[in-house]
Amino acid sequence: MTAPAPDAPEPAAPAPPAPPTTTDRQRRISHLLIGVLCAVLGYAIIIQVRATDNGDTLATARPQDLVAILDGVNRRGADLTAEIDELQRTLATLRSGGASSQAALQEAERRAQALAILAGTAAARGPGVSMVMTDPATGVTPEVLLAALQELRNAGAEAVQVNDVRIGVNSSFSGRAGAITVDGTAVTAPYTILAIGDPPTLTAAMNIPGGVGDTAKRAGGTLVVTAATTVTVDALRPLQPTTYARPAGG
Amino acid sequence: MSDRVPADATPAEPAAERPGPLGPRPSFPAPLLESLAQDHLDPGYQRAADRRRTGGAPARVSGSWLLAGTVVIGLLLGVAFQTTRANSAGVDEARLGLLGDVSRAQADASVLEASVVALNDELRSVQAAAGGGALASLTALEQMNALLAVTGPGLRISLNDPEAATGNGAVLDRDIQLLVNGLWSAGAEAVAIGGVRLRSTSAIRQAGGAILVDNRPVLWPMTIEAIGDPATFQQRFVSTPGFGRFSSFEQLYDVDFEVSPVGDVSLPAAAAVDARYVEQPTATTTAEATTVPESGTAGTGTTTPTS
């Protein structure tokens, strides 16, 4: 703190003889400062614009969402790996059969059966859940059933039926509360939904807070989910070749 | 404290040793309102004017204090900056790591999916070369399982939620579920969202601002493509609740929503589902079920409760 000694006379000494020089210097310094500040401000604006301009939803996603996304992608990867193993085994069997048409036919049949179950043209059996949604207040909208189906699919349901209608990839819910149709077939409350999949996962998915159970309750109904070792889904969809969607490349 | 007062201070200044906000003016004890009415000049200005009149140099905060203050403020800002950066660096690092993991896993899954589709094609050609009898129904089944890449007339829906990237988007997973439900009920034969073909086990959900279709993140802006009867498809789709909801989103939340008929859309194949839980009920009932759908849509379903 020795500074004050040389500092104190400074304003006094140059003041009377040359006041313009001091103001000139001050002006120059302040101009310089303004310039520097403007540069910093401009830089900051560019950084900010770049950060917000990056519209990639993933790049701006929160860590917990990224964990959920990663989990889903990994699950999908595991499914695909299992499917590749299966397909390679089948191909190996077919090839080792020395192009025996008998083996090929058997394999084609086995494959057709597996596909028929997933497409909904064949009955299916397996562990899963059976749930009953009541609707005494006529408040259950088609959207509630749609949400239930999406939750079931997300929880890994492989075969689903709603009342007497088997659900397929192109199933849709229409109508209004109290007069719901599934794929054009009217369904009435109480809605019985059968799903084949991992029972604990399916049960948990239905009872998740804010999920289907809560939605049904808000609509004035109830949802009872029962896990079962064997669920038989035997409503069927017709085998239906597409009319407008042609296989690409033959 | 004493360096606060320059050496050339006017005689009145010593009282400013402990400078009150009003300085040493006689009006100091006067109530605030009274002093406002009387003193038209701020005491500081008054003092400077007095000093100029007496020929004194303007009072200055000494350079060393200015320097010290600036250094202290600079230090504070620097410490705050360092702390913030250290905190955010950890979070950012974890986030970047996750982001890398996601894109790696996604790239892996894309490669796997491509080989599933390729293996399926190979299997089909091997079977076609060897047998051929059951192939007609097999192709239909493959179509119902979305295993074939398809082309045909249909609709293309362009969808963008400008707020989605910030996580405050108006469009939620259930809205897209309803939109796709509308496409199916309008007679769609095949649907793909952001290039992800829907299959019987596909769910549409969201994680934060990201929409996941069949567990694959689909980025905004999003394109939904569907194949259907060109004569009726759009007309039927327009009257669905899903279309209605997005029309109001367009007006209320600046969501871009555009439906255009397309002469020829190409949708990719989906990978086959690796079924783990479903099986045939018994050999006999299956044979009946696949050939005779008489009990068909009237099936009731049975369950055996867990023991």
Residues 122-141 of B with CB under 8 A from A: 122-123, 126-127, 129-131, 133-135, 137-141
pTM of the full predicted structure? Answer: 0.67
**Residue B247, both tokens:** 């029309």
Query: In this predicted structure, what is the pLDDT of residue B240?
Result: 93
Q: What is the chain A residue with the closest CA to B215?
A: A72
Instruction: From A109, A189, A104, A107, select the one nearest A144 (Cα to Cα).
Output: A189
What's the mean per-residue pLDDT of chain B? Answer: 77
C-alpha to C-alpha distance for A29 and A202, rounded to whole angstroms: 71
Nearest-CB residue to A58 (from B131, B210, B267)? B210
B179 CA to centre of own chain: 19
Q: Quick check: B64 and A7 CB within 8 A? A: yes
Across the interface, which of B57, B105, B134 has its CB nearest the CB of A73?
B105
Option in B120, B131, B293 nearest A87 (CB): B120
Whether the ipTM is more than 0.85: the answer is no
Contacts of B128 in chain A (CB under 8 A): none
- Residue B40 CA: distances (Å) to CA of A153, B45, B132: 79, 10, 106
B184 touches chain A (CB under 8 A): yes
How close, in Å, is residue A25 to chain B by CA atoms? 15
Residue with tokens 């239905």, as numbered in its chain:
A206
CA B8, B12, B14 angle in degrees (round to 5)? 70
- CA–CA gap between residue B113 and residue B269 (Å, rounded): 9
Are the CB atoms for A75 and B220 separated by under 8 Å? no
| pLDDT tens profile B192-223 | 999 899 999 999 988 877 888 988 888 888 99
Cβ contacts of B120 on chain A, cutoff 8 Å? 87
Per-residue confidence in pLDDT tens, chain A, 250 aa? 444 444 444 444 444 555 556 678 888 888 999 999 999 999 988 887 766 555 455 776 777 778 888 888 888 888 888 888 888 888 887 777 655 667 777 777 888 888 899 999 999 999 999 999 999 999 999 999 999 999 999 999 999 999 999 999 999 999 998 899 999 899 998 999 999 999 999 999 999 888 899 999 999 999 999 999 999 999 999 888 888 888 876 4
Q: Are B210 and A69 within 8 A, CB to CB?
A: yes
Residue A92: the pLDDT is 83
Model confidence band, residue B22 (pLDDT cutoffs 50, 70, 90): very low
Start-to-end C-alpha separation, chain A = 90
Q: What percent of chain B has pLDDT over 70?
A: 75
pLDDT digits (tens, 9 = 90+) for B134-185: 566 778 888 888 888 899 999 999 999 888 767 678 888 889 999 999 999 9
CA-CA distance, A145 to A151, in Å (whole number)?
10
**pLDDT of amino acid B181:** 94
Mark B12-36 as b/e (b = at least 16 C-beta within 10 Å): ebeebeeeeebbbbeeeeeeeeeee
> Angle at the Cα of B294 (from B142 to A226), degrees rounded to 5?
75
Q: Rounded to a whole number, what is the distance in Å from the CA of A50 to chain B's nearest CA?
A: 14
Of A7, A107, A241, the CB nearest to B62: A7
Percentage of chain B beyond pLDDT 90 is: 30
How far apart are the C-alpha atoms of A231 and A196, rounded to whole Å? 6
Backbone angles phi, psi at B191, to 5 degrees: -135, 140
Give CA–CA dist A30/A24, Å, rounded: 10
pLDDT digits (tens, 9 = 90+) for B49-107: 888 787 766 656 678 888 999 999 999 999 999 888 877 777 777 778 888 888 888 88
